[in-house]
Amino acid sequence: MSASTSTPKPAAPFLPFTRPTIDDETIAGVCEVLRSGWITSGPKVKEFEARLSAYFGGRPVRAFNSGTCTMEIALRIAGIGPGHEVITTPLSWVATSNVVLEVGARPVFVDIDPVTRNIDLSRIEAAITPATRAIIPVDLAGLPVDRDYLYAIAKKYNLRVIEDAAQSFGASWRGKLIGSFGDFVSFSFHPNKNVTTIEGGCLVLNNEAEAKLAEQYRLQGVVRSGMDGMEVELVGGKFNLTDVAARVGLGQIAQVDAFTTRRRELAKLYFEKLSTLSARSAGLRLPVADFEQCNWHMFQVILPEEKLTIKRAVVMEKFHTLGIGVGVHYPAIHLFALYRRLGWKDGDFPNAEYAGRNILTLPLFPTMHDSDVTRVVDALVSILQVHHKS
């Protein structure tokens, strides 16, 4: 090799938009569970539920194998079914409204607030009919819906609330942890969430009677008594969490405060780096800068489609070429084929539709370095400047 020949600089490692943090102590604990021979629902699930209950101030908590069945079970416990309506947001993972269909009820969508990207609470009362039985709000990206306003509406109209708090574990409202108050509160422990059990979720309930019903719905409606007594009084499912998953969750709970602190630090850094980009790009929308209540499950920007020469998919491709993973959370639910067949169409919810076409999730997870944020922002600046309409 001649002296003038230079060695190519190695490419930066691929940066995903999220990555779970599983420590060595948790991995060792999972091995202990596997060696124990008790790997399905058992003592670790009980321990995990107890830890969750303590975290939420002593409220009853039951663990499940997803954060979707938790909402379905809450609806069933609330007696919601055919002929009923449930108000929710069109900007969420489709599970939020699918569970309403699953119990035979009809979702009623209300457009989002374009600033918070959560359901616009000021529009809810106009959507209430004699068939309305519940509201399912979503804390998008971990930013809490205004709980005071929400529960004032619910109380006025005697509605149940099933909080889709899948993204807001560790978030708070006016100093109180989400899940420590309110009606039903559903959390997800999917791998992309702030706390994971690999797959899983939990439901925070109001009393032990509801908790017992949740247990029945969780496993085929079975009620056991004595050594050999068994009864089935209702149709349940197969929604139980394993002890392996629960052991992962126990390790995560111990770190949730540290995870949240780091996420907030990274979010602040994003705002610092993006402070002048919004003006330069003439329309890039940033999230609400809440560093006290939001758990920063995701950092999402909304692209200014009317000012760009390329669509979001091309923006995503360019990020990928640069070794950066970005995501879409979420397309507008009512424009999926299933919901179009039920009568929804383009133009029904303009704010959600604009967000659904243009929202972009940037990388954010606790083990990211500050330099990763700089790398992401530099990439975003470059892409938007090159493809900005003149």
pLDDT in tens, 299-321: 999 999 999 999 999 999 999 99
Q: Per-residue pLDDT tens for 315-373? A: 999 999 999 999 999 999 999 999 999 999 999 999 999 999 999 999 999 999 999 99
Burial class (CB in 10 A: 0-12, 13-18, 19+), 201: buried
The predicted pLDDT at position 229 comes to 93
Of all residues in the chain, the percent with pLDDT exceeding 70 is 96
Asked whether the beta carbons of 237 and 217 are under 8 A apart, the reply is yes
Task: Give domain limits for the chain.
Answer: 24-253, 257-386
For 28-58, what is each residue's pLDDT tens digit?
999 999 999 999 999 999 999 999 999 999 9
3-state secondary structure of 73: helix
Confidence of residue 3 (pLDDT cuts 50, 70, 90): very low
Q: What is the pLDDT of residues 193-233, one digit of tens each?
A: 999 999 999 999 999 999 999 999 999 999 999 999 999 99
pLDDT number for residue 281: 59
Burial of 311 (0-12, 13-18, 19+ CB in 10 A): middle
Looking at the predicted structure, is the pLDDT value of residue 182 above 90? yes
| Residue 321, helix vs strand vs coil | helix
Question: Does residue 330 have a cis bond before it (omega within 30 degrees)?
Answer: yes
pLDDT reported for residue 278: 59
> Per-residue confidence at 1, pLDDT binned at 50, 70, 90?
very low
Amino acid in position 303: L
The CATH number of 24-253 is 3.40.640.10
Q: Which of 193, 238, 318, 345 is catalytic?
A: 193
pLDDT at 280: 58
Contact (CB, 8 A) for 81 and 62? no
CATH architecture of the domain with range 257-386: Alpha-Beta Complex (3.90)
Question: How confident is the model at residue 321, as a pLDDT?
Answer: 97
Fold identical between 24-253 and 257-386? no
Give the residue with greater pLDDT, 105 vs 6: 105
74-86 residue pLDDT tens: 999 999 999 999 9
Single pTM value for the model: 0.95
In our burial notation (b when 16+ CB lie closer than 10 A, e otherwise), range 48-83 reads bbebbbebbeebbbbbbbbbbbbbbbbbbbbebeee
| Chain center to CA of 65 | 15
Flag whether pLDDT at 87 surpasses 80: yes
| Residue 256 and residue 195 in contact, taking contact as beta carbons nearer than 8 Å | yes
**∠ Cα 265 267 273 (to 5°):** 105
pLDDT for 8: 46
- H or E element at residue 86: strand 85-88
Q: 208-218 vs 69-77: helix axis angle to the nearest 10? A: 130
- Give the residue among 379, 335, 344, 334 at the shortest CA–CA distance from 360: 379
Active site residue 318: no
Specify the pLDDT at position 127.
Answer: 98
